[in-house]
Structure formats: C-alpha cells, structure tokens
Amino acid sequence: MERHCVFVTIFVLILHLVQAQNQTGFISVDCGLSPPESPYNAPQTGLTYTSDTGLINTGKTGRIAKDFEPFVDKPALTMRYFPDGIRNCYNLNVTRDTNYLIKATFVYGNYDGLNVDPNFDLYLGPNLWTTVSSNDTTEEIIHVTKFNSLQICLVKTGISIPFINVLEVRPLKKNVYATQSGSLKYLFRMYVSNSSRRIRFPDDVYDRKWYPIFQNSWTQVTTNLNVNISTIYELPQSVMSTAATPLNANATLNITWTIEPPTTPFYSYIHFAELQSLRANDTREFNVTLNGEYTIGPYSPKPLKTETIQDLSPEQCNGGACILQLVETLKSTLPPLLNAIEAFTVIDFPQMETNEDDVTGINDVQNTYGLNRISWQGDPCVPKQYSWDGLNCNNSDISIPPIIISLDLSSSGLNGVITQGIQNLTHLQYLDLSDNNLTGDIPKFLADIQSLLVINLSGNNLTGSVPLSLLQKKGLKLNVEGNPHLLCTDGLCVNKGDGHKKKSIIAPVVASIASIAILIGALVLFFVLKKKTQSKGPPAAYVQASNGRSRRSAEPAIVTKNKRFTYSEVMQMTNNFQRVLGKGGFGIVYHGLVNGTEQVAIKILSHSSSQGYKQFKAEVELLLRVHHKNLVGLVGYCDEGENLALIYEYMANGDLKEHMSGTRNHFILNWGTRLKIVVESAQGLEYLHNGCKPLMVHRDIKTTNILLNEQFDAKLADFGLSRSFPIEGETHVSTAVAGTPGYLDPEYYRTNWLTEKSDVYSFGVVLLEIITNQPVIDPRREKPHIAEWVGEVLTKGDIKNIMDPSLNGDYDSTSVWKAVELAMCCLNPSSARRPNMSQVVIELNECLTSENSRGGAIRDMDSEGSIEVSLTFGTEVTPLAR
C-alpha cells in the first residue's frame, strides 16, 4: 500500500509538470511590463507572461507602491494606466466561436501616490462587463467569442483614471459551462477544505482559482487515493480529494450566499465524489434544495469518481439571499457530502459587434495610413457614444451587426494610394478623402461598392484618368476637383480648381438628398395605393397561406393587428407601467390598453433577463407566422434599442397553475373544465406539430404557460424556447437542452435530440397535474417526481389516491382512467412509444365526451378499473440538472 501511494505521488507530480508546459491557447499579459523583461515564468504557477506592448497603442506604464509589493503576485506588480482619452482598448487574437475564461486583475497599490479609489467601466467589446470600484480585484467571465479578435476596453466615467495590471484568457471546452443565453460572470468558486491553500494552475488545467471554505459545523473528509476526474470539467485532484459532512450526522449541509441586484439569475455547478469506503449496509443519499425548493435527488455520490450537477436553466433567489441545503433522505445511513461548488451570474451582451468585413476594412485603412487617433480603439461603431471619429454607422436594428455607412477622412494627412481596404466597406454610402496627399490612380473597385452615393476625392495628387465604370455608375456623385495631374475628357470630369471645391461638393450632396427624397416619396405613394387596394380584397377573416392558397385564420383580429410599436407608445399603453400582471424570466408583464379600449398584456424585457434578444426574436417571428385559436395572439412588439417588449392579447384569468394551486381564487376547477382546458391546450400543441410548415416544437410546455381568457378558453403561451425543424422529413434536431425541470423529457436531456415527442412528455406531466393537483416535484414523497409517484400508486391498483381530493369524487371514472392511461403513455421513457399529439387530442376528446355525457351526476370511482395501465418506470433515479 505504501509503495502504491509513492507511485501515485510521483505520477501526480509528473502530471503537473506536463500540465505546466501545456499552455496552448493561453494568453497571459503582464500589463505595463517593459519589453526587455518579457517573457518570464511566474514563480508560483509556472505560467508564461508577456508584455502588453503590441496589444494596445495608448496608456502609460506604472508600478504599485513598494509597501504593497509583498502582498501581490509578480504579474500584478506593474500596470498600464490611461490618463488620455475616454475609451482605451486591448485587442487580443482569439479563435471565433470558442468558450473562453477571461480574467482581468486590478491592483491600485497607490501607484500614483494620490490614494484615489478607482471607479471606471470595463467593457467586453461593445458591451459593459462591470464597473471596477475596488482597490484590489479580479473580474472573471466565461464568454463565447464571435470573431477572431477580442477587445477589452477600459472606459473613464469620472475623475478616476482607468488602469489594469493583468489580462488572462484561457480556452475552455465548448460544452462546459453552457447557458441558455448570455455569458457567465464569476460569483464564487470554492472547494471544501480546512486548509488555507488557494488552488490554480498547474493543478487546474484551465487556471481556475479555487478558494477553500470550511465551517465549524462540518467534519473534514479526505483521501490519499486517486479520484477519477475525467469529466468535461477536468477538476483538479487537490479539489476533489477533499470534502465535508455535517458534524451532526442528522444535520443538513448548508451553503449560503447573496446576489446583487436580488433578481439577477445565476447558474450553479456542484461537484461530488464519494471519498469514504462505505460498508455493505451503509448508504449515503440526499436531496439538494435551494431556498427550500427541491432541485436534485435523491442522489448518491459515486465512489472516487467525480460528478457535476449543474443548472439547466438559471435560478433566482427571493431577495437575493440564497441557501443551498443537502438534506439526508430517510433511507440514508450517512450524512450528505460536498466537495466543491461554483456559481456564476448571467450577464447578457445584447449589443452585437460591428460587421466583421467592415471591421477588417476600417482596420486596413487605419494601418495603411498609420492613423493613431485615440478614439480609434475598440469596436468602430458601438456603443454609439464611443464610435470612431469620422465614421457614421447604422445600428438601428440590434438583431444584425452594425455597419459603416460613412467615412470622412478629409484633412487627415493621408499619404500614398487609396487603400484596397475600403472595398471591404460594402455598405458605404459616403466617402470623403478630400484635402490629403493621396497619389496614384483612382481604383476601379470604388465602382463595385453598390451602396456608394457620394465620393469626394478633391484636393489630392491623384493621377491617371477616372475609371469609366465610376463615371457611368448611376446615382453616384463624384468630386475630383483639385487633382492637377488627373486626366479628364469630354466633360466627364470637371476640374475647376480649389476656388470651386466646396461649392461643387455641396451640389452633388444636395442632388443626392433630393434624389433620395423623390424615391422615398414614390415608395410612400406606392404603399398607400397598395393599402387601399388590399382593403378591397377578401374579408379580414382570411389570410394568405405560404403555399398561395387561402385558409381560414383562427384569430383574424390578431393577424390584422400585428405591428411594431415605439417605446413611447408602450409607455402610453401601460400608463407609465402602472399595473403589474406578473413577473417571469423575460421580465415584468404589465396591463395595457391599445387605442384606449383593447386590453393587452405587455411583457417588457429586463436588461438582466436570462432569455435575452435571441428568444425575444424567436417568439416574435413564430407568432407573426402562426395563428390558432389555442395559441396566445401577438398584437405587436417593440424593438427600439435596448427597449424590447411583446404585446399579447389579454388573458383575463391568468395561467392554469394559479387556478390549480388556488392562489388566484378560492373556487375549484371541476373535472369537466379541466378536461376542456387540456383538450384546447393539446389542440394548440397539435397545430404547432402538424399545422406549421416547418413543424415547431414548443420545448416549455407547463401549467404556467397555459393561459385562460374570460371564458376559460385555454391558449398556449411563451414561445421563446420554440424550435423548428427546417428540413422536411427530419426526425429530430440536435440542440442544447432547454426547458423546465420536472417537465423535461429525460430522453432529450440524455441525448440532446429534440423531437415533437419531447413536447408530448411535457404534456403528459401537465395531464398528471390536472388529475392529481400535486406538485411536479415534491421531495417529501418517497418518489419525488409526479410520474414515478403516480406509477407506484397505480401498481397497487388504487386510483382514488391519485385523484385531486378537492373534487370530492365528482367525475366520471371512465374518463379519469382513460386520462391517467393517456398521461402514462405520454411519459413513456422511449419517445418512439409515446403517442403523437393528434392521438392525444382524439383520446382527450373522448374523455371530455364521457364526462359530459354523465349529466353532472356524482359517481363513485371503481378502484379496480377496467383499463390496464402500462408502467415502465424503474426504481433507479438518475440525477438530472434542475
């Protein structure tokens, strides 16, 4: 045994040495380090740090005061600070579509002798990352890059001068730390140990920093044996070889934290490995709860094998106070155990970076002419307040990248020929290179930029002749005055000297504006006449199908009213957001009035929303093209900068869950009403699966997404997670898992294969909810999930114990048995054995007919029943993410 331990120790040491050399893809920048001192290997980690020279062209170098040096790691001793300019940016070469761990370290260390607390903004590309307001802090984020370059910008917001000490970028595997949307901002990363050791590279191959946590109410558990860490998270041995259990064997193991602002969504990643040798009759089994609500379990850690339990969707804690508890189950003989835990808040980056070709083009212009303008850093177009001098951009539609439409480099001291980089600016409308010292020919590629309306090349030393393709380009206004060596023939080019320069450039611009005005006027007239023509067409109850044939619309009123509203109109509709109807992951839902009469529900996107613009756009696009009486209608939407809103028809009776739980009112929905609601919900879902081309999968069927109007007609809502099958005949789409815990199809979770049968599973859970009026997941039950609980009760042949007792037996037993059987078929672990939604609708209509035919009489339920229910649920529970 002793020899074995020595071998393991040597092996781990060798492994660490190999890892120390494996820094592939790492970017480690010691900001302010002089080039002669670069590169060097940091003493504690062996990481290779380089100077930031070449990554940024501005700023001054400094060093923290000597009093602080003993407390700071070597890379943070120097810094770069930025007394000039508003935005100063580092430009790093990365790989597009790669998941990166990005760290920025700020140690003030009274480098300037002023003792002024820092306060400035940190941007990732065009989006605000955080505000730096601490004298010693490291900001960390996990972010997927969109391009092959990454800009990290420091923005001055007050009297404080921005500075930075260290920049570190570490590539991660693509499938780790996945989110529904947005990036992950570090909240904490802790391993359970009573030591004081901070763990990072080379122990951690990704250079994550692990901090120890331990409480007096815990008992330390360790092992000298090797723990299997071969998971996608590649956790360090030193992290997973320690753990803790409660000192009191019957106590819970608690972790608490707070979040600001309180409504910020977050993801947690909990890491487990059993470190103790269990006896034959020992069992360690526990549930995990967050603020008292069941999230995972029953769960048993694997012996000496790492497992990570992660959130599938972001969580929130009421008031921002979170308490995670590991609670021992009744059959467990050992207390719960925890090895490590990480948590990240969700940060959305809604502003897209400037069009990549435009960035390439303008960077080429900058490099060719050696333009060192201090504003020419970071993203050229956005944020708008920091856009580059001399550029005008179009960024009105946040769903597409901003584009450069105007470039004014007049009187900029340009020398040499007109750079080919300009041809990458394919959206350019106005180009002014006047009053410089440009030489050579006028390039033909200028005629190939289709959008160009005005080119001003006056006041240069251009030679040769104007390309014929440029002179013949329709709609283009060209000014080449003041180029004495430029050849002009047959009046195609007018060269009247400097005295007429300003006048001649104004005329083309005015002419261009006049042409555009005429064009706009013609378009307005065309659409007015078209609208009058359309008003004489078929009745509003008919819309044109995609195949050209007319079809009856289930909601013609909504179809004819789809429109885009301004944010000021939204404010007016809601009377300045006076009446709140509800809150969700998207944001707050307000009551509103369109035209002062029609009631609507207006969902405003929160800036901290975990869903973000992608799901907003998905929902708008889906609801603009699908219409059915059992789908909530979209009256309109607002897409104005950061202000996003969805405007729905008003559903006066809220959602189904409110009525089932009794939180909305005190009366009980009878069995007939419940069946009517699920029939109508099934019809809406069946339409998505079969009536849409391409077919749609909702992905988030649950009782809170079934809304009820004044007549208790049911309609499906919330299509932000919906996905289409773009290729006809496709049986599945491979996609990241999304949905709500408890309703999530386990086959979809296991394989990442999404099919319409995933919705069928979720609908089966909803059906059991309306039958039992029980929570989907209840840790107090021996079988926490509703499907397993119902299955166990049914094996005893006792259906009365699963029916909602508040119904007092007032239901048709045949319809109940049929509904239960249908629900269990929908919940079959194999998607191939589940019914499709057309079959579900038929079966439910038979249930409703059976219930209605009894005439309201109260009948006793036969506990034996005549319908055989097929059960396929095993006894093992696989830990699913919440």
pLDDT in tens, 2-24: 444 433 333 334 344 444 458 99
Assess contact for 230 and 44: CB atoms under 8 A. no
* Residue 568 phi, psi dihedral angles, 5° rounding: -65, -35
DSSP 3-state of 323: strand
Assess contact for 267 and 259: CB atoms under 8 A. no
Assess contact for 96 and 114: CB atoms under 8 A. no
The mean pLDDT of 442-451, rounded to a whole number, is 94
Number of H helices, E strands in the chain: 15, 48
pLDDT in tens, 593-639: 988 888 999 988 876 554 566 677 777 777 777 778 999 888 888 88
Assess contact for 104 and 138: CB atoms under 8 A. yes
Cα–Cα distance measured from residue 286 to residue 275, given in angstroms and rounded to the nearest whole number: 16
Q: Would you state the pLDDT for residue 746?
A: 86
Q: Across the strands, what pairs with 155?
A: 87, 121
Candidate list 348, 432, 435, 700, residue with the active-site label: 700
Q: Would you state the pLDDT for residue 634?
A: 85
Assess contact for 17 and 201: CB atoms under 8 A. no
Q: Would you state the pLDDT for residue 155?
A: 96
DSSP letter (8 states) at residue 690:
I
The secondary structure element, H or E, covering residue 295 is: strand 293-299
For every residue of 385-448, DSSP letters joined together read GGPPTTEEEE---TTS--EEEEEE-TTS--EESPPGGGGG-TT--EEE--SSEEEEPPPGGGGG
pLDDT in tens, 653-684: 888 998 887 666 667 889 999 999 999 999 99
DSSP 3-state of 357: helix
The mean pLDDT of 124-128, rounded to a whole number, is 96
Long-range contact set of residues 549-553: C-beta below 8 Å, sequence gap at least 24: 553/627
pLDDT in tens, 449-476: 999 999 999 999 999 999 999 988 888 9
Residue 487 has pLDDT above 80, yes or no: yes
Region of poorest pLDDT, from 23-27, 139-143, 530-534, 844-848: 530-534
What's the predicted TM-score (pTM) here?
A: 0.58
Position 488 confidence tier, pLDDT thresholds 50, 70, 90: low
What is the CA 550 to chain-centroid distance, rounded? Answer: 38
**Residue matched to tokens 């300045």:** 576
Q: Percentage of the chain surpassing pLDDT 90? A: 59
- Is the bond preceding 261 in cis, omega lying within 30 degrees of 0? yes
Q: Would you state the pLDDT for residue 509?
A: 43
Cα–Cα distance measured from residue 589 to residue 600, given in angstroms and rounded to the nearest whole number: 10
The CA-atom distances, in angstroms, between 268 and each of 72, 88, 178, 218, 315 are 30, 33, 11, 21, 8
* Amino acid making up residue 388: W
pLDDT in tens, 511-563: 444 444 444 454 544 444 444 333 333 222 222 222 222 222 333 222 334 57
CATH, range 185-347:
2.60.120
Residue 274 has pLDDT above 90, yes or no: yes
Tokens of 100: 């990166």
Tally Cβ neighbours within 10 Å of residue 394. Answer: 15
Q: Is 213 left (phi over 0), alpha (psi -120 to 50) or beta?
A: beta
Higher pLDDT, 700 or 857: 700
Position 855 confidence tier, pLDDT thresholds 50, 70, 90: low
Position 181 confidence tier, pLDDT thresholds 50, 70, 90: confident
Which of 785, 660, 775 has the alpha carbon at shortest distance from 712?
A: 660
The mean of the pLDDT values for the chain is: 83
* Catalytic annotation present for 700: yes
Scanning 536-655, the segments in alpha helix (DSSP H) are 556-561, 567-573, 612-625
DSSP 3-state of 415: strand
Q: Would you state the pLDDT for residue 854?
A: 75
Q: Would you state the pLDDT for residue 861?
A: 31
Position 477 confidence tier, pLDDT thresholds 50, 70, 90: very high
Q: Across the strands, what pairs with 394?
A: 403
556-649 is a CATH 1.10.10.10 domain: no
Residues 6+ apart with CB under 8 A from 184: 141, 142, 143, 177, 267, 344, 345, 346, 347
Cα–Cα distance measured from residue 378 to residue 402, given in angstroms and rounded to the nearest whole number: 14
Cα–Cα distance measured from residue 587 to residue 589, given in angstroms and rounded to the nearest whole number: 7
The CA-atom distances, in angstroms, between 668 and each of 241, 550, 677, 712 are 53, 42, 14, 13
Residues 6+ apart with CB under 8 A from 634: 558, 562, 619, 620, 623, 624, 646, 647, 648, 649
Superfamily of domain 24-172 in CATH is Galactose-binding lectin (2.60.120.430)
pLDDT in tens, 752-779: 788 899 999 999 999 999 999 999 988 8
* Residue 74 phi, psi dihedral angles, 5° rounding: -55, -45
DSSP letter (8 states) at residue 780:
T
The answer to whether 603 is a known ligand-binding residue is yes
pLDDT in tens, 30-45: 999 999 999 999 999 9
Q: Would you state the pLDDT for residue 77?
A: 97
Q: Across the strands, what pairs with 650?
A: none
- Is the bond preceding 538 in cis, omega lying within 30 degrees of 0? no
Assess contact for 444 and 466: CB atoms under 8 A. no
What is the CA 642 to chain-centroid distance, rounded? Answer: 15
Angle between helices 671-686 and 813-826 (to 10 degrees): 30
Q: Residue ranges per domain, the chain? A: 24-172, 185-347, 356-485, 556-649, 656-853
Q: Across the strands, what pairs with 188?
A: 343
Q: Would you state the pLDDT for residue 661?
A: 74
Q: Would you state the pLDDT for residue 171?
A: 97
**Residue matched to tokens 């393991």:** 8
Q: Sign of the CA dihedral 750, 756, 760, 762?
A: positive
Q: 356-485 sits in which CATH class?
A: alpha beta
The CA-atom distances, in angstroms, between 172 and each of 101, 145, 207, 690 are 7, 12, 10, 40
Q: 656-853 sits in which CATH class?
A: mainly alpha
Q: Would you state the pLDDT for residue 798?
A: 67
Assess contact for 757 and 831: CB atoms under 8 A. yes
Are 185-347 and 356-485 the same fold in CATH? no
Q: Percentage of the chain surpassing pLDDT 70? A: 82
Tokens of 661: 């739980």
The mean pLDDT of 306-311, rounded to a whole number, is 94
DSSP 3-state of 158: coil
pLDDT in tens, 768-824: 999 999 999 888 888 889 999 998 888 776 677 889 988 888 888 889 989 999 999
Q: Would you state the pLDDT for residue 311?
A: 86
Residues 6+ apart with CB under 8 A from 285: 297, 298, 299, 300, 328, 329, 331, 332
Position 369 confidence tier, pLDDT thresholds 50, 70, 90: very high
